[in-house]
Amino acid sequence: MASAISNGFREDCSEFLSDFAKLKATDYSAFCQEWKRNNFQYIFFGRNTDAEMAEYLGEIFYTVKKFFFASKNLFERIGAFYLLYTLYFKQPLFMFCKIRLTLEEWRVMKDFARLPQNGQALPQITVMLWKMFKSDAFRFVQDELERGFDRFYFKSSGTSYDSSSSFRTNKDLEKELQTLTAPDGLIKATEILEMGYNEMKEALDGK
Protein backbone atom coordinates (compact mmCIF):
# COMPACT_ATOMS: atom_id res chain seq x y z
CA MET A 1 0.00 0.00 0.00
CA ALA A 2 2.96 2.34 0.52
CA SER A 3 3.41 4.93 -2.22
CA ALA A 4 5.64 7.91 -2.92
CA ILE A 5 3.64 9.95 -0.42
CA SER A 6 4.88 7.79 2.48
CA ASN A 7 8.20 6.82 0.93
CA GLY A 8 10.81 6.39 3.62
CA PHE A 9 8.39 5.92 6.50
CA ARG A 10 8.68 2.13 6.40
CA GLU A 11 12.45 2.33 6.85
CA ASP A 12 12.10 4.86 9.68
CA CYS A 13 9.44 2.71 11.32
CA SER A 14 11.52 -0.46 11.04
CA GLU A 15 14.56 1.24 12.57
CA PHE A 16 12.49 2.80 15.34
CA LEU A 17 10.85 -0.51 16.31
CA SER A 18 14.18 -2.32 16.15
CA ASP A 19 15.73 0.21 18.54
CA PHE A 20 12.76 -0.04 20.90
CA ALA A 21 12.90 -3.85 20.89
CA LYS A 22 16.54 -3.73 21.99
CA LEU A 23 15.41 -2.05 25.21
CA LYS A 24 13.30 -5.13 26.05
CA ALA A 25 10.83 -2.74 27.64
CA THR A 26 7.08 -3.20 27.95
CA ASP A 27 6.20 0.11 29.57
CA TYR A 28 4.72 2.97 27.57
CA SER A 29 6.99 5.48 29.30
CA ALA A 30 10.01 3.73 27.75
CA PHE A 31 8.34 4.01 24.36
CA CYS A 32 7.75 7.75 24.89
CA GLN A 33 11.42 8.27 25.69
CA GLU A 34 12.38 6.49 22.49
CA TRP A 35 9.82 8.56 20.55
CA LYS A 36 11.40 11.77 21.83
CA ARG A 37 14.96 10.54 21.31
CA ASN A 38 14.21 9.82 17.66
CA ASN A 39 12.24 13.07 17.18
CA PHE A 40 9.43 10.97 15.79
CA GLN A 41 6.98 13.84 16.26
CA TYR A 42 8.31 15.27 12.99
CA ILE A 43 6.91 12.29 11.10
CA PHE A 44 3.83 14.38 10.20
CA PHE A 45 5.75 17.29 8.68
CA GLY A 46 5.96 18.06 4.96
CA ARG A 47 2.32 17.51 3.93
CA ASN A 48 0.89 20.45 2.00
CA THR A 49 -2.82 19.64 1.73
CA ASP A 50 -5.51 17.95 3.78
CA ALA A 51 -5.87 15.31 1.07
CA GLU A 52 -2.15 14.53 1.12
CA MET A 53 -2.13 14.35 4.91
CA ALA A 54 -5.16 12.02 4.95
CA GLU A 55 -3.59 9.68 2.41
CA TYR A 56 -0.26 9.75 4.24
CA LEU A 57 -1.91 8.90 7.56
CA GLY A 58 -3.80 6.01 6.01
CA GLU A 59 -0.57 4.58 4.63
CA ILE A 60 1.46 4.92 7.83
CA PHE A 61 -1.35 3.36 9.87
CA TYR A 62 -1.34 0.46 7.43
CA THR A 63 2.46 0.14 7.62
CA VAL A 64 2.59 0.09 11.42
CA LYS A 65 -0.34 -2.32 11.56
CA LYS A 66 1.50 -4.74 9.26
CA PHE A 67 4.58 -4.56 11.50
CA PHE A 68 2.38 -5.41 14.48
CA PHE A 69 0.80 -8.46 12.87
CA ALA A 70 3.95 -9.73 11.14
CA SER A 71 6.51 -9.37 13.92
CA LYS A 72 7.60 -12.44 15.89
CA ASN A 73 9.51 -10.32 18.39
CA LEU A 74 7.37 -9.56 21.45
CA PHE A 75 9.02 -6.22 22.22
CA GLU A 76 8.87 -5.08 18.61
CA ARG A 77 5.20 -6.00 18.54
CA ILE A 78 4.53 -4.05 21.73
CA GLY A 79 6.38 -1.11 20.20
CA ALA A 80 4.25 -1.34 17.05
CA PHE A 81 1.07 -1.29 19.13
CA TYR A 82 2.28 1.73 21.09
CA LEU A 83 3.27 3.43 17.84
CA LEU A 84 -0.14 2.85 16.28
CA TYR A 85 -1.81 4.23 19.40
CA THR A 86 0.44 7.30 19.51
CA LEU A 87 0.21 8.11 15.81
CA TYR A 88 -3.57 7.92 15.92
CA PHE A 89 -4.00 10.32 18.83
CA LYS A 90 -1.26 12.69 17.63
CA GLN A 91 -2.42 12.89 14.02
CA PRO A 92 -2.95 16.50 12.87
CA LEU A 93 -6.43 15.79 11.50
CA PHE A 94 -8.06 15.44 14.93
CA MET A 95 -8.59 11.67 14.87
CA PHE A 96 -10.28 11.91 11.47
CA CYS A 97 -8.25 9.18 9.76
CA LYS A 98 -9.13 5.72 11.02
CA ILE A 99 -7.20 2.48 11.35
CA ARG A 100 -8.68 -0.13 9.03
CA LEU A 101 -9.18 -3.53 10.69
CA THR A 102 -10.77 -6.72 9.47
CA LEU A 103 -12.70 -8.78 11.99
CA GLU A 104 -9.86 -11.31 12.16
CA GLU A 105 -7.31 -8.56 12.78
CA TRP A 106 -9.53 -7.14 15.52
CA ARG A 107 -9.67 -10.52 17.24
CA VAL A 108 -5.89 -10.95 17.06
CA MET A 109 -5.32 -7.46 18.47
CA LYS A 110 -7.91 -8.03 21.19
CA ASP A 111 -6.27 -11.32 22.22
CA PHE A 112 -2.86 -9.64 22.26
CA ALA A 113 -4.18 -7.01 24.67
CA ARG A 114 -6.06 -9.47 26.85
CA LEU A 115 -3.63 -12.39 27.19
CA PRO A 116 -0.40 -12.23 29.23
CA GLN A 117 2.81 -11.87 27.22
CA ASN A 118 5.52 -14.31 28.37
CA GLY A 119 3.51 -14.73 31.55
CA GLN A 120 3.39 -10.99 32.17
CA ALA A 121 0.10 -9.09 32.11
CA LEU A 122 0.21 -5.78 30.26
CA PRO A 123 -2.76 -3.73 31.52
CA GLN A 124 -1.51 -0.60 29.73
CA ILE A 125 -2.15 -2.24 26.38
CA THR A 126 -5.63 -3.38 27.41
CA VAL A 127 -6.54 0.15 28.51
CA MET A 128 -5.09 1.65 25.32
CA LEU A 129 -7.03 -0.70 23.06
CA TRP A 130 -10.22 0.08 24.94
CA LYS A 131 -9.53 3.83 24.64
CA MET A 132 -8.95 3.48 20.89
CA PHE A 133 -12.14 1.49 20.49
CA LYS A 134 -14.22 3.97 22.48
CA SER A 135 -12.64 6.86 20.54
CA ASP A 136 -13.76 5.31 17.24
CA ALA A 137 -10.16 4.78 16.13
CA PHE A 138 -11.00 1.70 14.08
CA ARG A 139 -12.80 1.38 10.80
CA PHE A 140 -13.99 -2.21 10.62
CA VAL A 141 -13.94 -3.55 7.07
CA GLN A 142 -14.11 -6.72 5.03
CA ASP A 143 -10.89 -5.93 3.12
CA GLU A 144 -7.92 -4.16 4.67
CA LEU A 145 -7.23 -2.10 1.52
CA GLU A 146 -9.44 0.72 0.28
CA ARG A 147 -11.04 0.37 -3.10
CA GLY A 148 -13.47 2.19 -5.37
CA PHE A 149 -14.34 5.87 -4.98
CA ASP A 150 -13.69 5.87 -1.21
CA ARG A 151 -9.97 6.50 -1.77
CA PHE A 152 -10.61 8.64 -4.87
CA TYR A 153 -12.70 11.07 -2.84
CA PHE A 154 -9.77 11.93 -0.58
CA LYS A 155 -7.29 12.23 -3.45
CA SER A 156 -9.55 14.61 -5.36
CA SER A 157 -9.81 17.04 -2.44
CA GLY A 158 -7.02 19.56 -2.97
CA THR A 159 -7.54 22.07 -0.18
CA SER A 160 -4.57 23.60 1.60
CA TYR A 161 -3.60 21.90 4.83
CA ASP A 162 -5.08 23.51 7.91
CA SER A 163 -4.98 21.54 11.17
CA SER A 164 -8.23 23.17 12.30
CA SER A 165 -10.17 21.82 9.32
CA SER A 166 -12.88 19.36 10.37
CA PHE A 167 -13.20 17.48 7.06
CA ARG A 168 -16.91 17.38 7.85
CA THR A 169 -18.05 16.67 4.30
CA ASN A 170 -15.58 13.82 3.86
CA LYS A 171 -16.43 12.39 7.26
CA ASP A 172 -20.18 12.42 6.60
CA LEU A 173 -19.62 10.64 3.29
CA GLU A 174 -17.33 8.11 4.92
CA LYS A 175 -19.96 7.27 7.54
CA GLU A 176 -22.51 6.69 4.79
CA LEU A 177 -20.10 4.46 2.88
CA GLN A 178 -19.45 2.40 6.00
CA THR A 179 -23.12 1.45 6.23
CA LEU A 180 -23.30 0.10 2.69
CA THR A 181 -23.03 -3.54 1.72
CA ALA A 182 -20.99 -3.50 -1.47
CA PRO A 183 -21.15 -6.20 -4.18
CA ASP A 184 -17.76 -7.52 -3.04
CA GLY A 185 -19.22 -8.43 0.33
CA LEU A 186 -18.30 -5.42 2.48
CA ILE A 187 -19.58 -6.07 5.99
CA LYS A 188 -21.57 -3.25 7.55
CA ALA A 189 -19.34 -1.40 9.99
CA THR A 190 -22.15 -1.12 12.52
CA GLU A 191 -22.54 -4.90 12.65
CA ILE A 192 -18.84 -5.48 13.31
CA LEU A 193 -18.74 -2.65 15.82
CA GLU A 194 -21.53 -4.31 17.75
CA MET A 195 -19.72 -7.66 17.71
CA GLY A 196 -16.46 -6.01 18.72
CA TYR A 197 -18.12 -4.07 21.52
CA ASN A 198 -19.80 -7.17 22.93
CA GLU A 199 -16.58 -9.19 22.75
CA MET A 200 -14.54 -6.50 24.49
CA LYS A 201 -17.22 -5.95 27.13
CA GLU A 202 -17.29 -9.67 27.93
CA ALA A 203 -13.49 -9.71 28.17
CA LEU A 204 -13.41 -6.73 30.52
CA ASP A 205 -16.21 -8.19 32.63
CA GLY A 206 -14.22 -11.40 32.96
CA LYS A 207 -16.91 -13.59 31.44
* Predicted confidence pLDDT, tens digits, the chain (207 residues): 556 666 789 999 999 999 999 999 999 999 999 999 999 989 998 888 888 899 999 999 999 999 999 999 999 999 999 999 999 999 998 778 999 998 889 889 988 988 877 777 788 998 999 999 888 999 988 766 665 444 444 444 444 434 333 333 334 434 533 443 344 333 444 444 455 545 554 544 554
Is residue 24 assigned to a domain?
yes
Residues 178, 121 share a domain: no
- Give me the phi and psi of 117, to 5 degrees please: -105, 115
At residue 144, the 3 state secondary structure works out as coil
Judgement on whether residues 135 and 194 belong to the same structural domain of the protein:
no
Domain membership of residue 153 (yes or no) is: no
Together in a domain, 134 and 43: yes
Q: Please tell me whether residues 141 and 189 are part of one structural domain.
A: no
Let me know if residue 163 belongs to a domain.
no
Write out the residue range of the structural domain in which residue 90 sits.
4-146
Would residue 48 count as lying in a domain? yes
Identify whether 201 is part of a domain: yes
Asked if the structure places residue 189 within a domain, the reply is yes
Q: Is residue 80 part of a domain?
A: yes
Instruction: Give the list of residues 6+ apart from residue 180 with CB closer than 8 angstroms, or none.
Output: 186, 188
Number of compact structural domains in the chain: 2
Quick check: is 36 in a domain? Answer: yes
**Pick from 64, 66, 44: which is nearest to 54 by CA?**
44
Are residue 53 and residue 101 in the same domain, yes or no? yes
Give the list of residues 6+ apart from residue 82 with CB closer than 8 angstroms, or none: 28, 31, 128
Overall size of the chain counted in residues:
207
Model's pTM, two decimal places? 0.71
Q: Which residues pair with 10 in a beta bridge?
A: none
